[in-house]
Amino acid sequence: HSATTPRVAAFDDWIRNRFIDLNSELEDLYEAQENRSQVAGVGDDLKQVLVDEGRELIVDLLEEGNTDEGFDRAFELLGNVGYYMAACRRHDITEPSRERTSPLAEASALAMHLGASLGTVPRFVSSHMETYNRSINGRYRTFTWRPAEKIFLDYNTRSALAYMRAADALGRIHPMGLSHPAANDLLVDARNALDDVLRLNTELADRLDVDEFFFCVRPYYKPYRVGSQEYRGANAGDFAAFNQVDMLLGLCLPTEAQYTQIVIEKIPYLTPDEQRRLHDSFRHPNLLDSLLEQREHAGEAWFRENAQAYLEVCAAHGAAAAHHHDELVARFITAPSTGIPPEFLEGITASGPPLDVLLRALEGLRDRRLAAPRDDIPTRHDDLVELRSLIAAP
Ligand code: HEM
């Protein structure tokens, strides 16, 4: 710990060790019950220790005040406060519908100070678990020692990075134009990256235990209050690249209200650099329109090769999106939800709407990415048919 204060380091050390022990002990207690969803009234002494030890360290940090150690350290500290607040929510120490303001007053004050200074929501977000989760001697921050949590995060992080590679490659094409000799390399890079996504997500689905994920991992990602404001939960999809790929390919349109609504909602949950990337992708032209506008060159080699490569990128994006919906969401959320008493199902989704409403929205996203034929939502099905016919052998 070089560039940091002893109080920041003490809290970080607590989060990376003692905090994980306490959460893991509580998970063992919940698991030992007939109904694993029953959390209230279980392990109350451990819960009190968790609240008190965390608060003591946080009070020290509030006293110390603003020490401005740069983005990475401040964002890491916001993550640590957020881990503490999210664990309190998981253990039913706080519960947003029961309260009008968070009982974790000191943690809320510190989180709001950090969020306001960084330009993000004042809660822990996915980047705290993934691309900004600093590893020390091979171990990054987790809530518990359960293997399922590490499996989930290892793969999520690698899959998010693969999406970022695809977005980066696609985002470099429009300034040069699709007929540029380098465009084909970029399309192939994007396709390879999206193939990596599908491979990683498939491995994740094979290795992740459904019950462990449902009962011991996801509950830490629920909504909670910071001060009086409730913030939605952490979502594996809270990074820009996925939507950059949607919009750069032209499969989802930045002028379509239903899609834009979903994207706008996530912006404050991203790091500022990711926020900027997402803003940019609303201004950039899309590759499908660009190809169709140049249809008079359909007989040229560059057009045939790049339209073909473009179609392969779309197929890879669609395949990964379909796997996310039809395998990951179906097996790890929908299926286990059916075995849970309804009063324990509240807050099952990160964003809050009832599961069936969420599933319909996610299905719409999948079908846009697949360019599936639908008459109720806009998809690029007909445009892809035209593109294929333009390059079909005469
Ligand atoms: C959204 C489930 C892994 C990318 C969602 C949502 C659910 C979900 C339920 C809707 C969010 C909400 O609650 O409002 C899962 C499950 C996973 C998993 C069960 C694994 C067990 C991943 C991975 C990625 C990913 C590995 C890619 C890195 C996304 C994206 C969204 C999303 C981009 C935003 C919605 C969209 O644009 O389609 N996921 N997810 N997910 N997930 Fe996952």
The band of 249, judged by pLDDT with boundaries at 50, 70 and 90, is: very high
If one residue of 206, 324, 333 were mutated to test the ligand 1 pocket, choosing by the most ligand atoms within 8 A of its CB, it would be 324
Q: How large is the average pLDDT for residues 131-148?
A: 97
208 ligand 1 Cβ < 6 A:
yes
d(CA 13, CA 6) in angstroms, rounded, equals 10
CB 162 less than 6 A from any atom of ligand 1: no
- Residue 75's pLDDT is 96
Q: Is the pLDDT of residue 142 over 50?
A: yes
CA of 259 to the centre of ligand 1 (A): 15
Question: If residue 285 lies in a helix (H) or strand (E), which one and from where to where?
Answer: none
Does ligand 1 lie within 6 Å of residue 358's CB atom?
yes
Q: How far is the CA of 44 from the centre of ligand 1 (A)?
A: 32
328 CB under 6 A from ligand 1?
Answer: yes
8 A C-beta contact, residue 20 and residue 150: no
Span from the CA of 42 to the centroid of ligand 1 (angstroms):
30
Structure tokens at 155: 């793969």
- Mean pLDDT, rounded, for 192-220: 97
Ligand 1: centre distance to CA 327 (Å)? 11
Give 152 Cα–ligand 1 centroid separation in angstroms.
12
Q: Which two tokens stand for residue 392?
A: 């079909």
Question: What's residue 348's pLDDT?
Answer: 59
Nearest CA to ligand 1 atom 34: 237
The atom of ligand 1 lying closest to the CA of 320 is 27
Ligand 1 mean position, distance from CA 183 (Å) = 30
* pLDDT for 351 beyond 60: no
Residue 354: the pLDDT is 78
Mean residue pLDDT of the chain comes to: 94
CA-CA distance, 190 to 194, in Å (whole number)? Answer: 6
β partners of residue 225 = 230
Q: Is 365 in the pocket of ligand 1 (CB under 6 A)?
A: yes
Determine the average pLDDT of the residues in 358-368: 92
The residue whose C-alpha atom lies closest to atom 14 belonging to ligand 1 is 351
Q: Is the CB of 201 under 6 A from ligand 1?
A: yes
Per-residue pLDDT, 1: 44
Q: Is the pLDDT of residue 191 over 80?
A: yes
DSSP 139: B
Return the beta strands (E) in the chain as ranges: 224-226, 229-231
| Atom 23, ligand 1: residue with shortest CA distance | 156
Read off φ and ψ for residue 334, nearest 5 degrees: -65, -50
238 CA from centroid of ligand 1 (Å): 9
Q: What atom of ligand 1 comes closest to residue 369's alpha carbon? A: 38
Indicate which atom in ligand 1 lies nearest the CA of residue 331: 19
Please classify residue 387 by burial: count the beta carbons closer than 10 Å to its beta carbon, then call 0-12 exposed, 13-18 middle and 19+ buried. Answer: buried
pLDDT for residue 34 is more than 60: yes
Residue 131 Cβ < 6 Å to ligand 1: no
- The tokens describing 85, both together, are 């607040």
Specify the pTM: 0.95
Whether residue 380 contacts residue 292, with contact meaning beta carbons closer than 8 Å, is answered with no
* CA-derived radius of gyration, the chain: 23
Q: How confident is the model at residue 356 (pLDDT cuts 50, 70, 90)?
A: confident
Evaluate if residue 135 carries a pLDDT over 70.
yes
